[in-house]
Structure 1
Amino acid sequence: MQQSLVLKQALSWKMNQSLHQSIEILQLSGIELYDYVQKIAEENPLIEDIRPIDRQVLSKFHDDTNAFENMNAWKKSMYEQLKENMYMLSIQEETIKEAVLFGIDSLNENGYLDITLEDWSAQCQLTMEETEQALFYLQSLEPPGIGARNLQECIRLQLREMDCDFPFLDDLFENNLILIADEDVGALAETYEITEEDAKRLITNMKLCHPNPGKLLEDTETEFIIPEASVFKEDGEWHLSFFHWSSPSIQIREDIMRMDMPKEGKEFLKEKKKELEMLEQAIQYRGKTLEQVLRIIVNKQLPFFEQGIAALQPLTLQDIADALDLHVSTISRAISHKYVQTDSGILQVKYLLQRETRKGEGVARIVVKQYVKEIIDKEDPTQPLSDEKIRRKLEELYQVRVARRTVMKYREELNIPSSSKRKRSTS
């Protein structure tokens, strides 16, 4: 209990008003930003007008993504949002799909799983291996941390998304969370024999974790999922073009500042002008940062736009942060709730970020995992392939070189049992 309390305390931080506004605006979508500015305009007489968003123009995106099945605004619960997002998981087996739906209904309001795997297995009449596979899919839903069985697993799932899933985390959670709470970089690095840079990264990323991910999906009015920008090919060249709603245009009433009025009125307008200047700076920072981030992503993922998922390139938040000399948390916020329009439909920007296999051969992990699953799906059920044979198949069929233990790791992450257990299940 004490460790959990320390962990929750470690996840909170303080910031000044200007920084808070910049961070808040950075992670808003274009439509959310427009609504945010509209609310400010109601209390700031200096804002004369905001360039309106043509909702009819937005409706043309209706057919571009499965998430657009209902275009009218409505209240959606956490459970409804998770079920709608299941299409992104591409679950083939109907029994597993039904099990994941059962798992979603078994979450509490904070997003934690409120049922044991044994009960889940019994209720859905599945084997434990199948139930673990359903758990894997459930925990793959957004936001990271959904489907966790305790606070430690919740934080670990989020850290895994940030490529910060160190092997010593279990010991850290059990014995040394005070190092995170105190931000003791030196002691953390020394205790777990990591670099101070990695220690700083871990401390920062743990602060970004949310202890109750279900709260991020509380009943909210949901309208359109629309793209910030379009990625398209023209005259043999790939281009990135931003839609006007990605950066609201604010018209200011300069005449009010020149009007005669009491001192109190002038002080009030002076304060409102400062607020407006901070708002404009935050919007400009958002636009500049988002454009820089998207250009790096698009340039890196050109093979994907040309050839599809098999050509998806390894790219992480840290890679982009290093390229732009920004903090990884800034990059994480910049791509939050952001979508781009492509020839393949509207994609979440986060989808275009994938970690590399450990050998660094230039293949995204998600691609190799898909290859592993395809190989196992096509194997002879009476003679299942060992991890070593799968490794050889990867090299033979896809020219992907990984270690046997990497195959084992990916297989386990997919909740696929070993060859001996797969063989027993068919006997």
Structure 2
Amino acid sequence: MQSRQSLELRQHQQLALTPQLQQSIRFLQLSALELDVEIAQALVENPLLEREEEYDTDTADAVASTEREQEDRWMVLGLSNRAGNNRSDEEPVRPEAAVTETLQDHLLRQLRLTRAQPRDCALVSLLIDELDENGYLATPLADILGYFPPELSVATEELQAALRLLQSFDPPGVGATSLGECLVLQLRLREAGSPATSAQPDRSVLDCAYAIADKHLDILASGNLTRLREALGCSQDTLRAAHGLLLQLEPRPARNWATSTADYVTPDVVVRRVGKQWRASINPMVLPRLRVNTVYEALLDKAPESAAMHAQLQQAHGFIKSMNQRYVTILRVAQAIVDRQAGFFEEGVGAMKPLLLRDIAQALELHESTVSRATRHKYAQTPWGVFELKRFFGMALPTDDGASTSATAVRSLILKLVQEEPARKPLSDNQIAIRLAEQGVVIARRTVAKYREAAGIEPAILRKARAALEQG
């Protein structure tokens, strides 16, 4: 059989992902924080791109006026606000520049009040630097000992003595290597009858608390009270008292010195009632105000031979266009979600309806992947709080009247049932399924378990054990 080669022409259509389209798709899937990073990078790389407020005269005048007012106030107080490069170390610190004391500062201040030798102080300072945000010494002493060069001849006993000195500082429990050790350190302080603590507890209760903290925290966490009593050899009343004592202790000694800022989300979309309808709008706080530098653009019109600069000008215009397209798509998708989830905005999570990506994609004549990108890490401010747009989607679950409800609404019903259950007799997954069936939502016990775990709700046996320990 012989093969024969030939040439022929064919015409066909296909979708080509141009660089502009690729950029638009990439911008759409970015979160607000990731988009800020992208914008900052573009401003550095492209001199023709700038923020609108960057060269606004009014803003500069306002800043200058504010600085003059501050200078006048400092002069009235007899202080100089002119920092400059000649500011000496003896110059008084401004009140607004006060620095919050950290855990390390607090511990070092106590270290300076001791009579420890300089070598011991150096070892304690190193251990202080190794503490994590909770006040624990996460690095094993053997690893810390390996940090020192051999010529220093640091012995294990020296490092252990330095750790014991650190563990004697305030806050109680600082420098512990585990949760159990942290609780034991605080129990020793209780036993010593420190004035900073409450009255010394009963000896049997204290011994039981020591044993739980030192060896049986895992059994306590499992909620198996019978096994815990057998391991401790104590009565139910003693166990409850010991558990109550442990609850008074602080599992995170550095809690009051935590410097990490709370996580928060700036919503991309704000949903408000306008008349009798709910309307979505882009949050002005997240809208980047970008523009092309008009001076450079005018100069390039007179210099057509500068190909590189013309390419940057085209990139700047394309960047702004892709940015605008991103928010247009997000707004379209958000409004379509609002129109189909009007019950949620009126009544809350329990009224959320089943909704799929395909429903929004067909209504807006978009691809499902586009809707997915437009809702990923995008948040909406609603009367019921800030919700990720993806949370408005959920599969349909049938009801006994032939209608359907959303999985999100079912999770809210499960959470409500658990919150209203008797503490001594929590509802099992099967009982929750029966209660839901009485409300018209028929789902299997395994489905209840899946939704309960997704909501972070413990099993009934753990909820019962926790209630038994806490209520006594």
> So what's the TM-score if we normalise by structure 2?
0.44
Alignment TM-score, normalising by the size of structure 1: 0.48
Q: Which of the two has higher C-alpha Rg?
A: 2
